[in-house]
A and B are shown apart, each in its own frame.
Chain A
């Protein structure tokens, strides 16, 4: 009892004491407990300060007592030290934040890269589907039907040969019905993706990329030491397709390794990889359904009857007529205004120059039945160069050593002729309608009847035609010199005839031992043959022509290389 009372008093007293303390200090029990804890427990104290400190610092900065700039070195320094001591720590801290972001960004980027390949491929291929749609429309079959009929079990549409280091497209082959792709971009992207992947997987060889999925297509990649092959494949190719690709890339390396290694941007040579790449262009058509539905057969028969009734003859006729129409339009001296069908015949109506090739000759040279076409032309004067020259030829009857050309309404006469003909020329020239001027400044007049060897031979032997690398045919700039050559050559032939001599022209095509000798020879030979053919076409007898390739030897002028020159040799004196 007593005890109870005692404690009762105590309690009462401490209650009073509290009240008293609160009065004096202004702190309640909770506040005191907290203070107590801070004094005794340093951890708790630190926690408390850490909440206040940032606020305090902000206040200090606001008041201008310290600046961010003055804090920065301290923070940077401590970060730096921390990273130096244990970089893992910082990575651990940052990773949860950065990791997902980086991963997301990386996969986004690969996705974007692939997406851009995808669009490059798809825009190219969409034309095909359009074609199928049109086919479907025309043949009244459903689009899906056409699509299925055109679908392959597998189908390699494009094969690229790509320079391994630079990602540059060296050569590509495409299946016949495939569309143009942005091949340069696709090649570079494939290479970049490959780099990126091998990079992200720490360059482990076994993770090197061998297929990239792009939409419904796969890009198969086969690596060689210097080049890679990439094939764009729809569907599942047979298992040995990989082997085909491996063999192709091996064959290419075997045959062209130096060219690939030396590659510096010029892709022309890689046309030679074509036959190897083509081996990869394989496909297999899906089996058609064994028994097409009856309705479909019915439709087909109906269609067939319809087509054979009006169609076939009509279509082939139309095509032939259109071809003839084009031919007539392209013939100098014609101006076609319309083609009409009258009483089962096609009437070609328009204008025709009297000197143009006769209409029935044009018809005869075409594939069309000449009974089916008729011409109805009114005469007109054509000013086309071919017609003007033909008029001049008809009226002037020049000797074979004279050449005629028109330049607008100016007639250029070059070559050589005797005085008689020159007089005839001047007497008749302006009777030719359409010609207003004569340029005979390059016409040589022979005063003797005899062709003159002292003039002819140097004229031939001083000619030299120089060519750029790999060019084998003369260009328009060389054409004038070539005409002079022809003219001299024809005079030589005339001389042979009158003197019963056998003066021959030897064509020498020069090349060198530098580089690929075999290729040099081939090109030089082609040049030599080109000249022999041109001279033959200009009217020179074949037996008077001979073509040779010569190597430029040391001591000879290097400017001879890639030139074609001529020598006149007397066969009888050989």
Chain B
């Protein structure tokens, strides 16, 4: 039996909790209830002949006053960087957290989710921005926790990376 810790990272209110809830329980809520500390969820998957249990650590979002503490990242096998497609500055936060993860954990599989794809009218991230991220070698999924778009695909992709490691 394989068990892996996966950490959700990103600025506040980008949808980390919503993505986990969508993936694990297939539910979504419009209500914003900020995460303090960490929420934990568990998901069992069967991928490529492997039974794997993901322990999902959904951390509080980083803002200028609350930096994410490295101690929460320890022991992760992979991490997910979440960006809010309607807030351009959340990319910078994701970069900071990516750096923090590399400093704390070394190079690990990760994926970047650009979330809230359903809110096209207030979208702030251009395809050019996304191309730049892809050029850096990031694996990017455009997701919507609300509609469930690409959520499973992203988690499965990351899990496959972990198994391949």
**What's the minimum C-beta distance from B95 to chain A, rounded to whole angstroms?**
22
Chain A interface category by residue count: 20 to 34
B5 contacts A199, CB within 8 Å? no
Query: For the complex, what is the distance from the CA of A167 to the CA of B73, rounded to whole Å?
Result: 11
**What's the minimum C-beta distance from A405 to chain B, rounded to whole angstroms?**
29
Q: For B37, give its contact among A113, A185, A265 (CB under 8 Å).
A: A113
B3 contacts A195, CB within 8 Å? no
Whether B4 sits at the interface, judged by CB under 8 Å, is yes
Whether B71 sits at the interface, judged by CB under 8 Å, is yes
List residues 177-229 of chain A with CB under 8 A from any CB of chain B.
182, 184-185, 188-189, 192, 195-196, 198-199
**What's the minimum C-beta distance from A530 to chain B, rounded to whole angstroms?**
24
Query: For the complex, what is the distance from the CA of A110 to the CA of B5, rounded to whole Å?
Result: 21
Tell which of B74-82, B128-136, B139-147 binds the partner: B74-82
**What's the minimum C-beta distance from A101 to chain B, rounded to whole angstroms?**
11
Contacts of A184 in B (CB 8 A): 3, 42, 53, 55
For A169, give the chain B residue with the smallest CB separation: B3
Whether A268 sits at the interface, judged by CB under 8 Å, is yes
Contacts of B5 in A (CB 8 A): 166-168, 188
List residues 21-73 of chain B with CB under 8 A from any CB of chain A.
36-38, 40-42, 52-53, 55, 57, 69, 71-72
**What's the minimum C-beta distance from A144 to chain B, rounded to whole angstroms?**
36
For A193, give the chain B residue with the smallest CB separation: B37
**Interface secondary structure of A, over-half rule:** helix
Query: For the complex, what is the distance from the CA of A163 to the CA of B40, rounded to whole Å?
Result: 16
Whether B1 sits at the interface, judged by CB under 8 Å, is yes
Q: Looking at A105, A184, A199, A268, which has the most chain B CB atoms within 10 Å of its CB?
A: A184
Contacts of B41 in A (CB 8 A): 185
Whether B164 sits at the interface, judged by CB under 8 Å, is no
Contacts of B2 in A (CB 8 A): 265-267
Query: For the complex, what is the distance from the CA of A152 to the CA of B52, rounded to whole Å?
Result: 37
Contacts of A188 in B (CB 8 A): 5, 40, 42, 55, 57
Contacts of B57 in A (CB 8 A): 167, 188, 192
Contacts of B69 in A (CB 8 A): 195, 199
Give the B interface residue count (CB, 8 A). Answer: 24
Q: For A166, give its contact among B37, B38, B52, B75 (CB under 8 Å).
A: B75
B36 contacts A109, CB within 8 Å? yes
Contacts of A106 in B (CB 8 A): 36-37
Query: For the complex, what is the distance from the CA of A196 to the CA of B72, rounded to whole Å?
Result: 8
For A113, give the chain B residue with the smallest CB separation: B37
Contacts of A163 in B (CB 8 A): 75
Query: For the complex, what is the distance from the CA of A189 to the CA of B69, rounded to whole Å?
Result: 17
Contacts of B55 in A (CB 8 A): 166-168, 184, 188
Contacts of A195 in B (CB 8 A): 38, 69, 71-72
B1 contacts A268, CB within 8 Å? yes
Contacts of B74 in A (CB 8 A): 165-166
B36 contacts A166, CB within 8 Å? no
A264 contacts B1, CB within 8 Å? no
**What's the minimum C-beta distance from A412 to chain B, rounded to whole angstroms?**
30
Query: For the complex, what is the distance from the CA of A91 to the CA of B133, rounded to whole Å?
Result: 37
Contacts of A189 in B (CB 8 A): 40
Contacts of A164 in B (CB 8 A): 75
Query: For the complex, what is the distance from the CA of A106 to the CA of B53, rounded to whole Å?
Result: 29
**What's the minimum C-beta distance from A107 to chain B, rounded to whole angstroms?**
10
For B165, give the chain A residue with the smallest CB separation: A264
For A189, give the chain B residue with the smallest CB separation: B40
List residues 88-137 of chain A with CB under 8 A from any CB of chain B.
105-106, 108-110, 113
Contacts of A168 in B (CB 8 A): 3-5, 55, 75
**What's the minimum C-beta distance from B60 to chain A, rounded to whole angstroms?**
9
Contacts of B72 in A (CB 8 A): 192, 195
Q: Looking at A166, A195, A267, A268, which has the most chain B CB atoms within 10 Å of its CB?
A: A166
Contacts of B77 in A (CB 8 A): 166, 264-265
For B60, give the chain A residue with the smallest CB separation: A109
B38 contacts A185, CB within 8 Å? no
List residues 286-340 of chain A with CB under 8 A from any CB of chain B.
none
Contact (A109, B37) CB under 8 Å given A166-B5, A168-B55, A192-B57: yes
List residues 12-70 of chain A with CB under 8 A from any CB of chain B.
none
List residues 250-292 of chain A with CB under 8 A from any CB of chain B.
264-268
Contacts of A165 in B (CB 8 A): 74-75
For A184, give the chain B residue with the smallest CB separation: B42
For A264, give the chain B residue with the smallest CB separation: B77
**What's the minimum C-beta distance from A259 to chain B, rounded to whole angstroms?**
14
**What's the minimum C-beta distance from A271 to chain B, rounded to whole angstroms?**
11
**What's the minimum C-beta distance from B111 to chain A, rounded to whole angstroms?**
18
Contacts of A264 in B (CB 8 A): 77, 165
Query: For the complex, what is the distance from the CA of A262 to the CA of B76, rounded to whole Å?
Result: 13
B71 contacts A199, CB within 8 Å? yes
Q: Mark A158-172, 1 if CB is under 8 A from B, else 0.
A: 000001111111000
**What's the minimum C-beta distance from B25 to chain A, rounded to whole angstroms?**
13
Query: For the complex, what is the distance from the CA of A165 to the CA of B76, rounded to whole Å?
Result: 8
Query: For the complex, what is the distance from the CA of A163 to the CA of B4, rounded to whole Å?
Result: 11
Query: For the complex, what is the distance from the CA of A196 to the CA of B69, rounded to whole Å?
Result: 10
For B55, give the chain A residue with the smallest CB separation: A188
Query: For the complex, what is the distance from the CA of A199 to the CA of B57, rounded to whole Å?
Result: 16
Contacts of A109 in B (CB 8 A): 36-37
Query: For the complex, what is the distance from the CA of A266 to the CA of B52, rounded to whole Å?
Result: 9
Query: For the complex, what is the distance from the CA of A23 to the CA of B5, rounded to whole Å?
Result: 86
Contact (A185, B75) CB under 8 Å given A168-B3, A168-B5, A199-B69: no
Residues of chain B at the chain A interface (Cβ within 8 Å): 1-5, 36-38, 40-42, 52-53, 55, 57, 69, 71-72, 74-77, 162, 165
Given contacts A164-B75, A265-B162, 8 further A-B contacts (CB under 8 A): A166-B5, A166-B75, A166-B76, A185-B41, A188-B42, A192-B40, A265-B3, A265-B77
Can you show 13 pairs from A to B with CB atoms below 8 A apart?
A: A109-B37, A167-B55, A168-B5, A168-B75, A184-B55, A188-B40, A192-B37, A192-B72, A195-B38, A198-B71, A265-B4, A266-B1, A266-B2
For the complex of A and B, the 6 pairs showing the least CB-CB separation, nearest first, are A166-B75, A165-B75, A165-B74, A166-B5, A109-B36, A188-B40
